[in-house]
Amino acid sequence: MAELKGINLAMQTPFEPNGAIDYGLFEELIEKYVSAGVHGLVLGAGTGQHPYLTESECNRLYELGAKRIAGRCNVVCQTSALNMDEVIRRSQQAESVGADALMILPPYLEGPSDEDGIFNFYKEIDAAVGVDIVGYNIPQATGIAVSPRLFDRLSGLKNFNYIKDSAGDFTVHQEYLQTRGRVLNGCDTTTLYALMAGARGVIWGAANYMPREAVELYNLVVAKDFERALALWQRMLPSLLFIWRAPYTPSVLRAAQLRGFGTGNVRKPLAKLSAEQDTALRAALTPLFEIAS
């Protein structure tokens, strides 16, 4: 079983202005994030615009990424797809190039939404791979909520050992923590409190623009230095509140660009922030620049 504790950075995919992937910059960003001390990199995450990447692009990103990371931190690859055979094919390919774990959405877009149907979906994948599966609870995007009861049932499978919880319902999050499974927080605005409550770690999009601060926050919680953790959190929070309510991925990528990580470009159909949104984001980031100065 992979140990996915700590900061698993949901890594951006850097794009050129025309929407092509900048693979050279992708490798440069890996170096920056590994140097910042992150415990894992999630390649092809939602923040990496997985829905708008082709299967071949994902395969290349995962192969390049695993090779560049070279065991210095965990490699998690998202292998979600609508077609069952494609999920398994993507998953086996990611495993073959060195993925430590696979992040997989439930069967969204008119797939089975009953608990038996979701369980059987993951059960088939579980039997086809030999690395950890990270289920993904993000009902605001998929329309499917993984109940704590279902998560506990899924945790009885051989490889289904984690769930990424991005729903933002802290009550459900704590119910997950009462099961036998391992929980990774995915809601930016509850990160500190999820870690304090016992989440094993996080899969964190906002870490793209504040990797060192994210690692520091985790280390402070582990050390039970909650006063300093809360002080750091207060400097993080304005930008986290902004990105959670604004267009998420364009906000994270723009924030990352402003702090020296990436191009800020998105791939269609996503669009960059408006001038008004950009001004508000800059204001929300001000406390983080004060930390760095």
293: confidence class by pLDDT, cuts 50, 70, 90: very low
Q: What phi and psi, each to the nearest 5 degrees, are found at residue 119? A: -60, -45
The model's pLDDT over 5-22, given as tens digits with 9 standing for 90+, comes to 999 999 999 999 999 999
Spatial separation of the C-alpha atoms in residues 142 and 106, rounded to whole Å: 8
218 catalytically annotated? no
Please answer whether residues 99 and 110 qualify as being in contact, where contact means their C-beta atoms are separated by less than 8 angstroms: no
Spatial separation of the C-alpha atoms in residues 26 and 214, rounded to whole Å: 20
At residue 209, the pLDDT reads 98
Taken in order of first residue, the domains within the chain and their CATH numbers are: 6-223 (3.20.20.70)
Name the E strands within 26-180: 40-43, 74-78, 101-104, 132-137, 160-165
The model's pLDDT over 174-206, given as tens digits with 9 standing for 90+, comes to 999 999 999 999 999 999 999 999 999 999 999
Backbone angle region of 76, left / alpha / beta, with phi > 0 → left and psi within -120 to 50 → alpha: beta
Spatial separation of the C-alpha atoms in residues 74 and 52, rounded to whole Å: 24
Compute the mean pLDDT over every residue in the chain, rounded to the nearest whole number: 96
At residue 247, the pLDDT reads 97
Spatial separation of the C-alpha atoms in residues 134 and 116, rounded to whole Å: 18
The model's pLDDT over 124-167, given as tens digits with 9 standing for 90+, comes to 999 999 999 999 999 998 999 999 999 999 999 999 999 999 99
Which residues are paired to 133 by β-bridges?
A: 102, 160
113: confidence class by pLDDT, cuts 50, 70, 90: confident
Please answer whether residues 46 and 14 qualify as being in contact, where contact means their C-beta atoms are separated by less than 8 angstroms: no
At residue 164, the pLDDT reads 98
274: confidence class by pLDDT, cuts 50, 70, 90: very high
Residue 236 predicted with pLDDT over 80: yes
The dihedral built from the CA positions of residue 274, 187, 109 and 126, taken in this order, carries a sign that is positive
At residue 2, the pLDDT reads 84
Distances (CA, A) of 91 to 7, 99, 230: 22, 9, 38
164 catalytically annotated? yes
- Which residue among the candidates 5, 164, 176, 209 is catalytic per the annotation? 164
- Which residue among the candidates 136, 162, 176, 218 is catalytic per the annotation? 136
